[in-house]
Amino acid sequence: MYEVVVEGPEVDMLEKIKKARSKDKDIVRVVEEMKKAGVRELHGNEWQIEGDLVLKEGKVYMPKDEELRAEVIWLHHNVLAAGHGGR
């Protein structure tokens, strides 16, 4: 297991993801199933809980919230490291 350090705008984004998750019926069902079974992994390791985040196939699950998804894309698309620089 490894530790991921999150800072800057990503901290706010993770909070938004956690809040939006409660409105996504699919993820609510998966989390309830995991809690009921008392496990941190479900369906092999397709679904996992790491801290406060839900992972699907090893990646942070993005709730079905179009505004939030667009914000994540914008946040990571318009940075110099991505090679776009907002252009």
Q: Does any domain span residue 40?
A: yes
Distances (CA, A) of 42 to 6, 12, 24, 36, 67: 25, 27, 18, 11, 28
- Given a cut of 60, whether residue 23 has pLDDT beyond it is yes
Residue 5: its pLDDT value, please?
54
Q: Does any domain span residue 70?
A: no
Q: How confident is the model at residue 3 (pLDDT cuts 50, 70, 90)?
A: low
- Given a cut of 70, whether residue 78 has pLDDT beyond it is no
Residue 60: its pLDDT value, please?
85
Domain coverage including residue 26: 9-62
Mean of all residue pLDDT scores within the chain: 79
Q: Does any domain span residue 48?
A: yes
